[in-house]
Chains A and B, each alone.
Chain A
């Protein structure tokens, strides 16, 4: 029988929630890395025991952790995991995210736009998202703040920037969203290993067709009221993008405001907010087996980051957008003022698709029937920053 493992990153540590395929009785392990912010954790599709974690702290900086046994034990890749390590310098620099400014492969560091419109130095702050390769357990991508894309091909021991993105040339027009200028979305195309989509707040979405050497902004059709040129090539606050693996040309986007759809690999976007009560939000995801079934969690506004009327509701469209239904069974019907952050929704791949999301109030909700009914797995974790799911055969 299949099992599921839900990987939860929170503001104060990581948690691993496990259940069998019925998804009723849950075991909660953690906190791991207690007291540290866990921006994101994700398992390898190639080896489910391999899990990568972004562990970060305002005091101590950025760390990468890895498990090779499904979350039972953890280590910094390439680092000795004992009190007295062997002598000699370490061969790995697992926590070093240095922008590549070399003549051969890099791009010069530029500035980006600051909140007040002035230019600001590009500075590494943290890893927002880790995306393991679809084909190699030792290859993993990292999206960082200030925005850039890194890759490791040795299990996270050493990281190298794919500098063509940061050096795209539009960098001075990128600007931070409220949470910083983070690269938060990395989508690997299962049909073409050289094609990758990424998204940055607030620059927009980009696509590479050559494995990361060159990048194209793919923001045509987006309209953002907070930038001088509302339809500019870059500068859009894209909150998250989702794709169904069977249709890598079809993308769904939750923008700052607006839910968007592209049917041509991001070349053109059209709004599919339709009858949503508000189209501001952060998360968006696609059903594991129904490419036209999409989920969002509408949030009241960019000034009030909580659900409308204190009612927490997931909205589902079975038609690829425009027509949405509220899913409320088992979710709070009153006095709920949490947020659901951009990396905090995921789906499993069991026959009856499971949907999961976490809140800034520390709840992780699960539905074992594609969103029809919900129940909390946990009520009282620290604020949830990310949720990922592994379906284990």
Chain B
């Protein structure tokens, strides 16, 4: 697990620490192993998590959300608590289990291609 939290290990003032699981190629691109820990200000939404992720790992900008439109790239999916969040609003609060760091937000590449 890659710890990208505040230096004191807490979520920091007004933030919570959440977990994100990235697909293999994006972990390689960001030079990280395992899940990412991120400090995110409440309310925790897909947008706030992705904003925090891209701020911490700028090399991922454009790889999850299209640069131009800001929309999820077509072959990526978001899952939270075993539910597909890919088509949910980016501003809808994520489940409490994800917002508390108990469960990770999963970002998956669709199984397609050769």
Contacts and interface: CB of A to CB of B under 8 A. Distances in A.
A141 interface: no
A59 interface: yes
Interface string A27-47: 000000001100000000000
Contact of B62 (A59, A80, A83, A95): A95
B95 interface: no
Interface in A55-98: 57-63, 76, 79-85, 89-90, 93, 95-98
A97 B57 CA distance: 19
Given A35-B25, A95-B67, A124-B68, A59 B58 contact: no
A5 B68 CA distance: 36
B9 interface: no
B92 to A, nearest CB: 24
Contacts of B23: 59
B62 A96 contact: yes
Interface residues of A, number: 25
B31 A90 contact: no
A59 B67 contact: no
Contact of A57 (B25, B31, B58, B59): B25
Contact of A59 (B31, B56, B109): B109
Interface residues of B, number: 29
Interface string B1-33: 010100000000000000000011110011110
Contact of B59 (A62, A80, A84, A89): A80
Contacts of B75: 58-59
B67 A83 contact: no
B109 A83 contact: no
Interface of B: 2, 4, 23-26, 29-32, 55-59, 61-64, 66-68, 73, 75-76, 109-110, 112-113
**3 closest pairs, A vs B, by CB?**
A90-B58, A60-B63, A59-B75
Given A61-B67, A96-B62, 6 more contacts: A60-B26, A63-B29, A80-B59, A83-B32, A95-B67, A98-B67
26 contacts: A58-B75, A58-B112, A59-B23, A59-B73, A59-B76, A59-B109, A60-B25, A60-B64, A60-B73, A61-B66, A61-B67, A61-B73, A63-B29, A63-B62, A76-B59, A80-B58, A80-B59, A81-B31, A83-B2, A83-B30, A83-B31, A89-B55, A89-B58, A93-B67, A95-B61, A95-B62
